[in-house]
A and B are shown apart, each in its own frame.
Chain A
């Protein structure tokens, strides 16, 4: 069974940092590119980052470029998102998702940026 489990969310002050993790199982992780997608409370879906299988191709949305860093450890079947310089507008549920067309998603982890 394919599973993606995010962790690392929480309450953080503006300007703070968090590292989100996505642990996967049930498929060969190193053969799938991965995405991070977020959803602010009551809002729509926003794609924020992509990483290829070998990490050779990494892409970001303009809204997070320079503050967020995506990475993966294929040996640990894990995807990461380092988020720095957090702003109130980064408050959202963050999802990891498998594939260019995301066929499997985690349950999401909530990041709340507030003083």
Chain B
């Protein structure tokens, strides 16, 4: 079993929809949680960075962390075609920077 599980999709939604992306994990030592967006043939870019449990909002993006359930989510409101990309969750225990990534969820937002 992988330390971080993520549904690979693809997930197709119409423009304007609310998108929910999720990851589960098994390592209770993880304290830092990130979401990266990766366009085709590009490197990942950081979207959200959260510590421990709780919510964090940035524009149309909201990240949620539930450490008791070992479950994290990324919500995208008013989705746009430019949001079409692969979304990777990543986690760290904070001691040595090593990030453990999910497999990524491919999202397509259609007109």
Query: Are A and B subunits of one complex?
Result: no
